[in-house]
Structure 1
């Protein structure tokens, strides 16, 4: 069963058409990756799925076969500096005035799961970028959502921290439906169950690439190396000549 079904969708941003007659299915309990260059419209599509870009929809529809709770993990962690780490993780409960001993314990458990239990005394401004994104991941988990929308959440991190957060997300978001947008073929291969290359959203999507092996994957293995070359080739096909 699909978590999201998109049919004949046309999206425009500032009067510029981004997607034309776009069709896409998002299967449940898998990591689906949309891989594409910057500016191709990936974030606009993600925001439309989240219901944040309704004015951009010119025609078509985004259908949820059953009601879903959505969570968003973005490149910017959006932590509130005046809140403690525990309250940032409990943000939904904090805003609704529904914090309890149980919710605090759950927040503490999730911060431990993302390896932040030794930093509870710190303010957000004292954390590194990777640590802040770990807290943001814990906050996402706290929402217990059915569908996680990820807008390049690890792209601003250094290489080692990026790999660590990818590993954590794969471990902690098992059995969840995840839609990740990225411009990094290596990230797509490491974490994706299926990968679509979005080089021209005005044309139908090519069939999904299905990486072999259990994620997070070892990029040095031969099947992954071959897939990486294929993904780079597809991305370059859609790149302007002056950028190639």
Structure 2
């Protein structure tokens, strides 16, 4: 279910944004330089040159699911921070609709908007936004104070969230006595203390050192597993986006370039701009076994008769096949085992199975790659309750992680890197 719906949002900064709104939709220059309503939309650069106005956002539409972490990313000037500030109307849109739980935020009056900001959304800023003259405890409880919550209750709730973010014992310190990471934890505790359903996090971790940043990402994921908030997270770092986001939107010059799951972005970049973000991404840490799984040409069941198993293996030209017990993986049957079962005259193949190694579909390709390098045996991919999903394709693993191995764009352009891919493909040819 959608928590936030953004539809056709435009933002133009300048003294007369409405006059130039049609120009960024579709324009043709009139005799006196005024925009018309047909033709090619003005670019951000053209709009600035003609009017002195700045294009912040152009026709942005997004749907953000409840309980998800939705990442909006792009380089400086892409419009990502401008967009997130539209959600609680810290910035007013020039056009478009913003709905939260079905309520059009742009229609709220001043009092309604104030209550909406206090109760529905909390914000965590890049530079912490702490009051230097207030203690950690008072900073964490500030949002509750604004709401008029009694002192004893807000201190209790603030202390609870300080414990949750690992700051118990620091409640009487002042911000300048804390490290950057600890200050950001105070900001996170303050946002959580209000119990708002939506967290807006604008470059919240970008000012932190890499190790502290990783710790904060871990902290956020742990808290999200418990709280199931709707989180809108702004970043310019694709590694961070891929690690945190259920879905990712990439902006450039105020326009939406691509939107999708991390896998969508990684496997099917929309253009060169998106591809440039992906150059240094370690795919093996983002993609998982499900991405390199293929349905085998043949599977058998526990009740398959030996004669039928021998016949089917021979017809398919295979040396072995996965054997299922219902939907679950029971083991593997190779030709010698099938022929032995036939000679023994048993009713089915259930007592002649060998073990087949497996990995869960969620296992990262870095883990899978290590398993494949240690053994040439078949590797099954399983889902919930050990449901058999398919077999690991060695050639697909090489294809997906090749940019990590050779540092190039991929196996199609890899030159020498094509050799391991060919070897993997040959190994896959023998698989069922």
Same fold (TM over 0.5): yes
Q: 1:46 & 1:131 partners in 2: Cα distance?
A: 24
User: Residue 237 of structure 1 corresponds to which residue in structure 2?
Assistant: none
3-state secondary structure, aligned to 1:135: helix
Q: Does 1:186 align with 2:239?
A: yes
Q: 1:23 & 1:168 partners in 2: Cα distance?
A: 30
The two structures have a TM-score, normalised by structure 2, of 0.48
Q: 2:62 & 2:193 partners in 1: Cα distance?
A: 28
Q: Does 1:59 align with 2:111?
A: no
User: Residue 122 of structure 1 corresponds to which residue in structure 2?
Assistant: 173
Q: Does 1:208 align with 2:246?
A: no
Q: 1:24 & 1:183 partners in 2: Cα distance?
A: 18
1:205, distance to aligned residue in structure 2 (A): 4.4
CA offsets per residue over residues 77-101 of structure 1, 9 Å max, x none? Answer: 1111221111111102333543343
1:146, distance to aligned residue in structure 2 (A): 0.9
**Retained in 2: the 8 A contact 1:33–1:179?**
yes
Greater helix fraction, Structure 1 or Structure 2: 2
1:187, distance to aligned residue in structure 2 (A): 0.5
User: Residue 151 of structure 1 corresponds to which residue in structure 2?
Assistant: 202
Unpaired segments ≥5 residues, structure 1: 213-217, 234-244
3-state secondary structure, aligned to 1:17: strand
1:171, distance to aligned residue in structure 2 (A): 1.5
Matching of residues 124-143 of structure 1 within 5 Å = 124-143=175-194
| Cα pair distance change 1:27/1:205, threshold 3 Å | farther
Matching of residues 58-97 of structure 1 within 5 Å = 58-66=94-102, 69-97=120-148
3-state secondary structure, aligned to 1:122: coil
The two structures have a TM-score, normalised by structure 1, of 0.82
Q: Which has the larger radius of gyration?
A: 2
Q: 2:9 & 2:286 partners in 1: Cα distance?
A: 37
**Retained in 2: the 8 A contact 1:186–1:219?**
no
Q: 1:24 & 1:16 partners in 2: Cα distance?
A: 22
RMSD: 2.6
| Cα pair distance change 1:97/1:34, threshold 3 Å | closer
Q: Relative CO higher for 1 or 2, CA cutoff 8 Å, sep ≥ 6?
A: 1
Q: 1:93 & 1:72 partners in 2: Cα distance?
A: 13
1:2, distance to aligned residue in structure 2 (A): 1.0
Unpaired segments ≥5 residues, structure 2: 15-52, 104-115, 265-281, 289-364, 366-399, 404-408, 410-432
**Retained in 2: the 8 A contact 1:10–1:21?**
yes
1:221, distance to aligned residue in structure 2 (A): 2.5
Matching of residues 105-120 of structure 1 within 5 Å = 105-120=156-171
1:198, distance to aligned residue in structure 2 (A): 1.6
User: Residue 2 of structure 1 corresponds to which residue in structure 2?
Assistant: 2
Residues paired across the two proteins, number: 222
Q: 1:21 & 1:44 partners in 2: Cα distance?
A: 13
User: Residue 196 of structure 1 corresponds to which residue in structure 2?
Assistant: 249
Q: Does 1:171 align with 2:222?
A: yes
Q: 1:196 & 1:22 partners in 2: Cα distance?
A: 10
User: Residue 16 of structure 1 corresponds to which residue in structure 2?
Assistant: 54
User: Residue 223 of structure 1 corresponds to which residue in structure 2?
Assistant: 287
**Retained in 2: the 8 A contact 1:5–1:26?**
yes
1:173, distance to aligned residue in structure 2 (A): 2.9
